[in-house]
């Protein structure tokens, strides 16, 4: 099966449990020792495509890649299958194929070739095979997974978990046909002068100018207080400290938008820095030989020093952690930061801050620590309401929004507001079973699907019994009926406490030998 139109790109999308998407460009040919194809992760399909457009242009310009390797005329379909694999185990310190099988759900895409065979691709792992019959795809994929788990760099079985819907999208960016991009001439000049930054980082100010950054809501008092210090010529490095979802990345997006607004009509100048967004994996990606990543870091430092731009990294720990057989990025970057030649914006939690102070105390002394606090319940409610209205999709009634705030506060205490509420709304906008309008109970039903929790346990409108909770637990745990019933007896009395985010609740401790199902419970 092939399309008769012009060749176009194919992007393989995975829908994640937080409602976001990841996408990878499908490549027709692979070469030895080359970087993986462009990948991106974003709030929406359009956000992922925007990131891929920039990454592909950089790959073509800097890494001698060609767009022809990504062009297809074939139409791809996706299929999800159940397979059984036998993970490796250790016998007298020797890896062997285990006797116990593990069921997996795996998605792949396929197309029928002109001569009758089938192309089967697992883009998440960079695998593809040509099969005579599509019905043998299960056996072929089982073999590939088994081989990967026993190789010199074995995968963990968790790597093959099924996240959510996977699909292929045909895509033709505006610049792919003509060979010209919609990036501004000024940004093109920046890319040509500093190709290393283009290869490892995204220019957030340029993305703000193209309206490719996620929406930013509310009026952040902390940001407006910090903005003059961030923009002054004698600026300092900044460390944003706060829990996951509290708004540290949003703070950086606000900064990029502020620079873009000030530069509008007059262009970048020495007084307005850029913001290059990268992380340790991108900085070190593809650097397999001795000295390669160190040379890349030195070139990155030179580019940042000459331009006066900020380097934004999502985790400070990625810079200071030692790499196997090598040092840390901070070994080279640290002196430039402590001398004030390079300025970094980084994120961390309180736990990571303590770790960073132990590993690199001198480096941390040259950061201004900015604590990003979780908003109060009323403020979070206003932010989530505004976000839901701006994103469109199903309408959540005021009582439903209050129920949502209560659920995320009670059941997702490892994350913070407003991020955990925003992730649920993003998931809801792509959930096939969503109604057009959600009252309080409809929000509870949706949240139950989102988390996998029994709706009887979280909804005020449903009575909860030991039997009903046990039955729901048994749906996801095989062969542990007695344990499910025991867990249900503990959960039912805790319902009132679980639904009250202000009331502390106890935990459950599952004891038993390895492999009996504690994690499933």
Tokens 């039997």, residue located: 467
Q: Tokens in use for 442?
A: 């409809």
Q: For residue 400, count other CB atoms closer than 10 A to its CB.
A: 21
**What is the rounded CA–CA span in Å between residue 503 and residue 397?**
26
Q: Tokens in use for 150?
A: 């026993």
Please choose, from the candidates 489, 496, 435, the residue with its C-alpha nearest in 3D space to the C-alpha of residue 466.
489
- Give the pLDDT confidence score for residue 140 in this predicted structure: 85
**What is the rounded CA–CA span in Å between residue 487 and residue 521?**
8
Q: Tokens in use for 100?
A: 């116990």
Backbone angles phi, psi at 269, to 5 degrees: -145, 180
Residues 6+ apart with CB under 8 A from 25: 9, 10, 11, 37, 38, 39, 52, 56, 70
Q: For residue 193, count other CB atoms closer than 10 A to its CB.
A: 12
- Give the pLDDT confidence score for residue 175 in this predicted structure: 56
- Give the pLDDT confidence score for residue 323 in this predicted structure: 76
Element (H, E) at 353: helix 350-359
**What is the rounded CA–CA span in Å between residue 213 and residue 208?**
6
DSSP state of 110: E
Sign, CA torsion 284/349/205/66: positive
The answer to whether the CB of 185 falls within 8 A of the CB of 268 is no
- Give the pLDDT confidence score for residue 474 in this predicted structure: 81
The answer to whether the CB of 255 falls within 8 A of the CB of 274 is no
Question: Taking the CA of residue 228 as centre, how many other CA atoms within 13 Å lie in the half-sphere pointing to its CB?
Answer: 2
Please choose, from the candidates 257, 218, 275, the residue with its C-alpha nearest in 3D space to the C-alpha of residue 422.
218
**What is the rounded CA–CA span in Å between residue 140 and residue 138?**
5
Tokens 């340029």, residue located: 206
CA 515 to centroid of chain Cα atoms: 29
Backbone angles phi, psi at 268, to 5 degrees: -70, 150
Indicate the burial class of 209 (C-beta count within 10 angstroms; 0-12, 13-18, 19 or more).
Answer: buried
> What pLDDT, in 10s, does the model give residues 482-515?
888 888 888 777 676 655 544 444 454 555 555 5
**What is the rounded CA–CA span in Å between residue 283 and residue 281?**
6
DSSP-derived pairing of the beta strands 275-278 and 202-203 = antiparallel
The answer to whether the CB of 275 falls within 8 A of the CB of 203 is yes
- Give the pLDDT confidence score for residue 506 in this predicted structure: 47
Q: For residue 290, count other CB atoms closer than 10 A to its CB.
A: 9
Q: CA triplet 419, 361, 197: central angle to 5 degrees?
A: 60
**What is the rounded CA–CA span in Å between residue 258 and residue 261?**
5
Residues forming beta bridges with residue 276, ordered by sequence position: 203, 311
**What is the rounded CA–CA span in Å between residue 151 and residue 153?**
5
Please choose, from the candidates 294, 47, 312, 305, the residue with its C-alpha nearest in 3D space to the C-alpha of residue 201.
312
Q: For residue 331, count other CB atoms closer than 10 A to its CB.
A: 16
Residues 6+ apart with CB under 8 A from 219: none
**What is the rounded CA–CA span in Å between residue 136 and residue 370?**
56
List of the chain residues with pLDDT < 70: 1-5, 29-34, 61-64, 87-90, 93-100, 146-160, 174-194, 265-271, 286-289, 324-325, 494, 496-521
């Amino acid at each position: 099966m092939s399309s008769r139109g012009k060749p176009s790109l194919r992007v393989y999308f995975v829908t994640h449990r937080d409602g976001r998407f990841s996408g990878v460009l499908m490549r027709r040919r692979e070469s030895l020792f080359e970087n993986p194809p462009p990948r991106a992760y974003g709030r929406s399909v359009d956000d992922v495509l925007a990131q891929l457009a920039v990454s592909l242009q950089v790959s073509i310009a800097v890494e001698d890649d060609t767009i022809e390797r990504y062009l297809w005329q074939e139409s791809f379909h996706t299929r999800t299958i159940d397979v059984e694999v036998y993970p490796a185990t250790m016998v007298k310190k020797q890896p062997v194929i285990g006797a116990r099988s593990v069921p997996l759900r795996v998605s792949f895409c396929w197309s029928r070739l002109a001569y009758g065979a089938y192309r089967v691709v697992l883009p998440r792992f960079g695998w593809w095979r040509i099969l005579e019959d599509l019905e043998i795809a299960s056996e072929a994929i089982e073999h590939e997974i088994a081989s990967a788990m026993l190789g010199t760099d074995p995968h963990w079985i968790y790597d093959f978990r099924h996240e959510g819907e996977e699909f292929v999208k045909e895509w033709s960016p505006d610049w792919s046909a003509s060979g010209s991009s919609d990036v501004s001439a000024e940004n093109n000049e920046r890319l040509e002068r500093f190709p290393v930054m283009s290869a490892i980082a995204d220019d957030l100010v340029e993305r703000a100018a193209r309206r490719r950054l996620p929406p930013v809501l509310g009026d952040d008092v902390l940001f407006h207080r910090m903005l003059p210090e961030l923009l002054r010529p004698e600026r300092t490095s900044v460390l944003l400290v706060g829990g996951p979802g509290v708004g540290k990345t949003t703070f950086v997006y606000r900064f990029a938008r502020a620079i873009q607004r000030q530069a509008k009509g007059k262009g970048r100048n020495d007084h307005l820095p850029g913001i290059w967004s990268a992380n340790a994996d991108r900085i070190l990606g593809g650097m397999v030989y001795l000295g390669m990543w160190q040379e890349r870091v030195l070139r990155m430092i030179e580019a940042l020093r000459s331009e006066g731009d900020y380097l934004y990294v999502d985790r400070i720990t990625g810079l200071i952690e030692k790499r196997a057989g090598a040092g840390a990025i901070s070994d080279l970057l640290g002196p430039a930061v402590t001398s004030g030649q390079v300025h970094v914006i980084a994120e961390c939690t309180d736990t990571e801050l303590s770790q960073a102070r132990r590993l690199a105390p001198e480096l941390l002394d040259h950061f201004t620590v900015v604590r990003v606090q979780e908003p109060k319940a009323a403020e979070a409610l206003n932010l989530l309401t505004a976000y839901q209205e701006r994103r469109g999709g199903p309408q959540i009634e005021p009582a439903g929004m209050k129920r949502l705030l209560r659920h995320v506060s009670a059941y997702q205490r490892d994350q913070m507001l407003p991020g955990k509420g925003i992730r649920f709304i993003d998931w809801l906008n792509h959930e096939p079973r969503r109604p057009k309008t959600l009252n309080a109970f409809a929000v509870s039903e949706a949240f139950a699907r989102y988390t996998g929790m029994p709706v009887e346990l979280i909804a005020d409108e449903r009575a909860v019994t030991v039997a009903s909770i046990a039955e729901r637990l048994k749906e996801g745990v095989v062969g542990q009926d007695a344990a499910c019933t025991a867990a249900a007896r503990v959960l039912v009395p805790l319902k009132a406490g679980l639904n009250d985010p202000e009331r502390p609740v106890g935990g459950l401790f599952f004891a038993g030998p390895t492999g009996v199902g504690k994690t499933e419970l």
